[in-house]
Amino acid sequence: MVKVNRPHIGIFGKMNVGKSSLINALTGQEVSVVAAHPGTTTDPVKKIIEILGIGPVTLVDTAGIDDSSALGAQRVRRTNEALDQVDLAILVFADDFNSYDQSLMETCVALRVPYFLVHNKSDLHKLNVEIKGADVVDFSCKDPRLPRLLDMIKKHLPKSSYSADVLLDDYVQSGDEVVLVIPIDASAPEGRLILPQVQTIRNLLDIGAVAVCLKDGELREYLQTHTPKLVITDSQAFGYVSSVVPPNIPLTSFSILFSRLKGDFGAYLKGTRTIDKLQDGDKVLILESCSHSVNKCDDIGRTKIPNWLQKYTGKKLQFTVVANLDSLPDDAETYKLAIQCGGCMVTRTQIMRRLNILKEKGVSLSNYGLAIAYCNGIFDRVTEIFRKQDQ
């Protein structure tokens, strides 16, 4: 199966050490502006390239970590945020290796981000310092010998970041019929399917299974003459779909598929049951992991899930939404529960770093689909097939 969320490789270092020149050499294009004066790169710049043996990756060029200009603090903050979101960091330095470079190494270790160092402009300055505990590659953009650099990327990039995604391969077999319930309502994007639906269809085609796509209003009639191996629905339609699908037919949702693919499924299964323990005034964190218009009154994360939770628990709860990959609240440890979306637009690495922070702070974790299923009283049913698979 084709991996939709490519591994992210970030280029980090001080100003004017040749980060942008390095990314241009890797891509063979002028992706980033190169100039003799420092501070040319501001916000992170991204470019997708193909690396033989890995596949497509996203390269991220970042601002210098020693930027002391008027906007420097903001640029450095964006660079640090990028470091927290990559699967591999390439730390670039040139004529000298100083405290800034050492601090980058230590940050990578603290964040558990794999890394190696590139001694750039090696044609001008020989490496005259011993750097312990890290691989170092000599490089010159004037004579870019890429094979060794690419070999180092392959050595340090975690295989899990680019290996094939598995959604249903361990449950569905060739020839099985799987029904995908895709409601077309106000939350459905105009003229297209959302990524989890597309990726699930592709996975079923790769397996050789039969993917049957239906709107929720067509499901009851279809099931009168068909008995599929599995029914997968949009979580928002759980209430109706679970009443239509007979108990002998397994049922789950796209969001739950992705919770297993990209999140901490074991922690989700345990943490979702915290819903029964919520009390008046408890704080719940909604983690969206993407940016989208919030003008709709039926937004799943900002409106529907809070309403379902308060109706189910009978409690008045406080909700905070963190969109995209924005920073967690400073008082994250005061939240009783964090509910992560399916994460179709971000990588597993990015989700897991955020979840691990919350776990260390003692916050219970759940997922959109699992929380919705719990509020609909069908949590055990929609997780049964995966609990059996993972035993």
- Tell me which residue of 377, 339, 367, 385 sits closest to 238, measured CA to CA: 377
CA atoms within 13 A on the CB side of 315: 15
Range(s) for CATH 3.40.50.300 in the chain?
8-161
CATH class of 264-375: alpha beta
Q: What does the DSSP assignment read for 97-131?
A: --HHHHHHHHHHHHHT--EEEEE--TTTS---S--
pLDDT tens, per residue, the chain with 391 residues: 344 568 999 999 998 898 988 988 888 766 544 444 444 445 578 888 888 888 899 999 988 887 766 555 677 777 778 888 899 999 999 988 988 899 999 999 988 899 999 999 888 878 877 888 899 999 988 777 788 899 999 999 998 787 766 789 989 999 999 999 998 866 666 777 888 899 999 999 999 999 999 999 999 999 999 999 999 999 989 999 999 999 999 999 999 998 888 889 999 999 999 999 999 999 999 999 876 555 555 788 899 999 999 999 999 999 999 988 888 999 999 999 999 998 877 888 889 989 999 999 999 999 999 999 999 999 999 999 887 655 4
Range(s) for CATH 3.40.50.11410 in the chain?
264-375
- Res 208: pLDDT: 97
Sign of the CA dihedral running 30, 33, 36, 39? negative
Residue entry with tokens 């890995």? 54
Sign of the CA dihedral running 214, 216, 222, 228? positive
Spatial separation of the C-alpha atoms in residues 185 and 198, rounded to whole Å = 17
Spatial separation of the C-alpha atoms in residues 365 and 375, rounded to whole Å = 15
Q: Quickly name the fold that domain 177-257 has.
A: Rossmann fold (3.40.50)
Range(s) for CATH 3.40.50.11420 in the chain?
177-257
pTM: 0.77
Bridge partners for 211 per DSSP: 178
Q: What does the DSSP assignment read for 375-388?
A: HTT-HHHHHHHHHH
CA 54 to chain CA centroid, nearest Å = 18
- Res 173: pLDDT: 95
**What value does the CA radius of gyration of the chain take, rounded to a whole number of Å?**
24
Is the CATH number of domain 8-161 3.40.50.300?
yes
